[in-house]
Amino acid sequence: MATVKEEQEAREHAVRRIEREKPALEFGSAWDYAPAPESRDHLRLEERYGLFIGGKFVAPKSKKYFETVNPATEETLAQVAEAGPADVDAAVTAAEEAYRKRWSRLKPADRGKYVYRIARLLQEKSRELAVLESMDGGKPIKESRDVDVPLAIAHFFYHAGWADKLEYAFPRHTVSPIGVCGQIIPWNFPLLMAAWKIAPAISCGNTVVLKPAETTPLTAMLLAEVCQEADLPPGVVNILPGAGETGAALVNHARVKKIAFTGSTDVGKIIQRATAGTGKRLTLELGGKAANIVFEDAPIDQAVEGIINGIYFNQGHVCCAGSRLLVQESIADTVLQKLSDRIATLRMGDPLDKNTDVGAINSKMQLDKIRELVACGVEEGAELHQSSCAIPPKGFWFPPSFFTNVAQSHRIAREEIFGPVLTVMTFRTPDEAIEKANNIPYGLSAGVWTDKGSKIFQITQKMRAGVVWANTFNKFDPTSPFGGYKESGFGREGGVHGLRAYVELG
Amino acid sequence: MPELEIRKTYKLYVGGEFIRTESGRYDPIPDARGQLLANVSRGSRKDLREAVRKARAAQPGWAAKSAYLKGQILYRMAEMLEGRAESFEQLLRESHGVTAPAARAEVRATIDRIVHYAGWSDKYVALLGTVNPVASSYFDFSVPEPMGVVGIVAPETPDLLGLVSHLAPVIVAGNTAVVLLSEKYPLVSLELAEILATSDLPAGVANLLSGRKEELVPHLARHMDVNALSDAGGDRALSKSMAEDGAVNVKRVKRYGIADYSSDTAQGLDFIEAFTETKTTWHPIGV
């Protein structure tokens, strides 16, 4: 019987290292950059954060605190209160009171003005929010600075303007708010997800209790400070860090009228069961395993950039990541060579460095999950190709990787890895591509690459997915509805369609 | 000597065919005076699975038909019902014991409802779709698409108008349907199957099952190839367990409690929207 070490060696042997020296693109030392870390001087962090209830930071009745660490360095950033059931109850009570006495009685235009204020204040803090997002979650500063934070701000700006125009969105209906909304968000886009949830909810006249993820609570704490600075009436926004138990207490709270959840399909199903028959409204934004289909008539260099962006953006911690590459057989060799060459140029390392392309894996737990699925892929007979980039000594890291020789039935082709790992499969005909793309319980997003216009419409129409990117990938905007088909959840966030989740129509 | 009447045994309507239940079970359906009116099939789990299979097979083809053609087919259903209005009124009177004017009113309302949805076929997309002004150089639009296979639990009464009120919006949006009919009054609905079968509606688009709801609803709700549930059954306990079971594959569950089906508020765009998905498509703008 093979020892653990022998098994590891065998596995290592199966890996094809993508070497910087080998590829067709040779830049010599031109790709070596001096470190360019973003400064963290202007960031003021408290040692300890309480729960944000009724406009104040308060000590948790649970008396529990947890540490949040920087996944790139494993340093502890702060202690954060963990909300227990009594804290959830206090927050719901505060939200209900704010809803009844202040927020639902406010002139809609004034509600909008508060939301505009939040947007402006976030803009003024955009630098420190970006730095903190990268420190708490491990994502590259260029992403938090150019994607997460500006998009979060845009969501507040966009929805602020809806506050006094809701009757235009729902003709022939009277429009009223729902009440207290319980919102649970994941760790992959902490501030952005908070904005996706809070902005439409409060613009439509509801009040919220939001639970950020346990590994990334800090930017939500800054958002709470912004709510204070904006003089938002106390209790309109309440923020309760915590883990699964906190979320369960929120979902099961009798006076919560609506639940919005973004996270795994497994937990989403539990929530759907728990809210069934209670009259609670529910929207779910769950997992995905998007097909990214590249046809032989695609603009190949653009497609390769799209593949890279599709799977390595945010270390692949993206529910709509293009994690299944379907490439037409005739161009598979070319595309894979270009993909390897491009991966060799990706820089993994300090998330705060402005030149970093791939940051740290969000947590030890997530890293273990990625490793487990990747090991399973190797065991099932797929061939692993992995960047040979240096792995920093501390923190949680996984090099950009892809699998070839993948069968549709492999776990790595069916389960969400939620890491920088792509599975590559080939197809011969458009019908085969459509069949393979849709043959999965998920249906969040898909990508299609071809220069032929009629083919774009044909294939995008056939995708059973809520968001389809044609000749692009991973694009988001507050005006653009986002959400899944099938087991990727229901309801939309963003755009006119997203408002529906936060209004009661008469 | 009086003529000897031919009594009808009502079969299930699955995949465009009238089939006997594979289970070999039948239930007697009495008329308003308690006399046997007809026997109906007591649909089984296997019948239900067969219906879902047929509905799934029919769905892409039905969705791909032009909006104009879908409208024509629905309108044809109204025409066929109009032609047989009197026999429907007669059957409503016999099975429910209602007056002639009441039976006539329900049939008229049913015809009107079908015509209402026939007209929606080429309009709802324009009203539910959007072009989204994104802040980057992309053309971005959202359109409603069918959810797929929808399970409908029809109300006990009004059995005919209620059935059509929930079936028509589901199919006009390009979905196919598996319907659990009124358990107490299945006859008029099964009679409607003959209208569906002769109105150019493709086989498998609407599948109608009679039987015991308590037996069939859990199988429908747990079926992994059903995308959504339209629950107008009106049984609170069954609704709750159905909504719970639906989580098995994240079904969209829409529950209806409609007091007056003859009202205009029991029809319209919202009933269609409830069984559509929104797809958003992005494409770069450039040369």
Inter-chain CB proximity A497 and B247 less than 8 Å: no
Q: Is the pLDDT of residue A335 over 60?
A: yes
Q: Is the pLDDT of residue A380 over 70?
A: yes
Chain A positions touching B239 (Cβ under 8 A) are 277
Nearest CA to CA, how far is A352 from chain B (Å)? 26
What would the mean pLDDT of A410-437 be, rounded to a whole number? 98
Q: Cβ of B278 and A284 within 8 Å?
A: no
Judged by a CB distance cut-off of 8 A, whether residue A486 touches chain B is yes
Supply the pLDDT for residue A462.
Answer: 97
Residue B83 lies in a domain: yes
Residue of B nearest to A466 (CA): B279
Q: Which of A244, A144, A245, A122 is nearest to A188 (CA)?
A: A144
When divided into structural domains, chain B yields a total of 1
pLDDT at A190 over 60: yes
Q: Of A296, A330, A311, give the one whose Cα is nearest residue A423.
A: A311
Distance from CA of B12 to the nearest CA of A (A): 29
Sign of CA dihedral B9, B12, B13, B18: negative
Q: For residue A495, give the nearest of B132, B246, B248 by CB distance.
A: B132
As separate numbers, helices (DSSP H) first and strands (DSSP E) second, chain A gives 18, 21
* C-alpha span between A318 and B160 (Å, rounded): 47
Asked if the structure places residue B144 within a domain, the reply is: yes
| Yes or no, beta carbons of B279 and A466 under 8 Å apart | yes
Q: Looking at beta carbons, which residues of chain B come within 8 Å of A309?
A: none
Select the more confidently predicted residue: A44 or A22. Answer: A44
pLDDT of the residue at B7:
79
Q: Is residue B280 part of a domain?
A: yes
State how far residue B243 is from chain A, nearest Cα, in angstroms. 5
Whether residue A454 has pLDDT greater than 70: yes
- What integer best gives the mean pLDDT of chain A? 95
DSSP assignments along A159-181, one per residue: HHTTTTTHHHHSTTS-EE---EE
Domain with CATH 3.40.605.10 in chain A: 48-104+173-286+485-505
Task: Give yes or no for A470 touching B (CB within 8 A).
Answer: yes
- Specify the residue for token string 């487990």: A372
Q: B103-153 pLDDT, tens per residue?
A: 999 999 999 999 999 999 999 999 999 999 999 999 999 999 999 999 999
Does a structural domain hold residue B2?
A: no
Nearest to A472 among B247, B277, B284 (CB): B284
Query: A269 and B253: CB-CB below 8 Å?
Result: no
Q: How far does A456 lie from chain B, in Å, by closest CA?
A: 9
To the query of whether residue A225 is one of the catalytic residues in this protein, the response is: no
pLDDT at B2: 75
Please tell me the distance in Å from B133's CA to the nearest CA on chain A: 6
Pairing of strands B276-284, A467-470: parallel
Whether the predicted pLDDT of A20 surpasses 60: no
> Which amino acid would we find at residue A432?
E
Per residue in A384-399, pLDDT (tens digit) is: 999 999 999 999 999 9
B253: which chain A residues are within 8 Å (Cβ-Cβ)? 276
Report the residue of chain A nearest B142, measured CA to CA. A481
* φ, ψ (nearest 5 deg) of residue B64: -80, -15
CATH number of the domain within which B77 lies: 3.40.605.10
CB-based contact, A261 to chain B, within 8 Å: no
* Helix, strand, coil in percent for chain A, rounding step 5: 45, 20, 40
Q: Given a cut of 90, is residue A311 above it in pLDDT?
A: yes
Query: How many residue pairs bridge chain A and chain B with CB atoms within 8 Å of each other?
Result: 105
Cβ atoms < 10 Å from Cβ of A266: 10
Residue of A nearest to B285 (CA): A471
- A273 contacts on B by Cβ (under 8 Å): 244, 247
pLDDT at residue A22 greater than cutoff 80: no
Residue B63: inside a domain, yes or no?
Answer: yes
pTM for this structure? 0.95
Contact assessment for residue B179 and residue B144, using Cβ atoms and an 8 Å cutoff: no
From the list B140, B247, B250, the residue facing A480 with the nearest CB is B140
C-alpha–C-alpha distance, residues B35 and A76, integer Å: 80
Q: Domain A4-32+288-470 sits in which CATH superfamily?
A: Aldehyde Dehydrogenase; Chain A, domain 2 (3.40.309.10)
List, for residues B6-36, the tens digit of each pLDDT value: 878 899 999 999 999 999 999 999 999 999 9
Does A320 qualify as catalytic in the annotation?
Answer: no
How far apart are alpha carbons B179 and B196 in whole angstroms?
13
Gap between the terminal Cα atoms of chain A: 69
Interface test with A, best of B136, B147, B280, B287 (most A CBs within 10 A): B280
Which of the listed CATH numbers 3.30.160.60, 3.40.605.10, 3.40.50.1950, 2.102.10.10 matches domain A48-104+173-286+485-505? Answer: 3.40.605.10
pLDDT at residue number A17: 79
Distance of residue A280 Cα from the nearest chain B Cα, in angstroms: 12
- Note whether B132 contacts A466, CB cutoff 8 Å: no
pLDDT at A249 over 50: yes
In this complex, is the C-beta atom of A281 within 8 Å of any C-beta atom belonging to chain B? no
Please enumerate, as own/partner, the contacts of A97-101 that have beta carbons within 8 Å and a separation of 24 or more. A97/A54, A97/A235, A98/A54, A98/A207, A98/A233, A98/A234, A98/A235, A98/A236, A99/A177, A99/A179, A99/A180, A99/A206, A99/A207, A99/A235, A99/A236
pLDDT at B222 over 90: yes
Structural domain boundaries enclosing B269? 9-284
Predicted pLDDT at A204:
98
Are B134 and A480 within 8 A, CB to CB? yes
**Residue B1, in any domain of the structure:** no
Can you give the pLDDT at residue A1?
47
Contact status of A212 with chain B (Cβ, < 8 Å)? no
Per-residue pLDDT band for B51 (boundaries 50, 70, 90) equals very high
The rounded percent of chain B whose pLDDT value lies above 90 is 97
Q: Do B249 and A487 touch (CB under 8 A)?
A: yes
CB contact under 8 A, A468 and B133: no
Residue of A284, A464, A482 lying closest to B280 (CB–CB) = A482
Segment A68-95 shows an average pLDDT of 98
The DSSP H or E segment spanning A189 is none
pLDDT (tens digit, 9 = 90+) per residue, B61-111? 999 999 999 999 999 999 999 999 999 999 999 999 999 999 999 999 999
Q: DSSP E strands: which ranges in A29-83?
A: 48-49, 51-53, 56-58, 65-69, 76-81
Find out whether the peptide bond into A35 is cis, omega within 30 degrees of 0: no
**CATH 3.40.309.10 region(s) of chain A?**
4-32+288-470
pLDDT band at A31 (very low <50, low <70, confident <90, very high): low
Instruction: Give yes or no for residue A29 having a pLDDT over 80.
Output: no
State the pLDDT at residue A6.
62
The token pair that represents A469 in the structure block: 């990117």
Residue A3 banded pLDDT, cuts 50, 70, 90: low
Confidence (pLDDT) at A14: 65
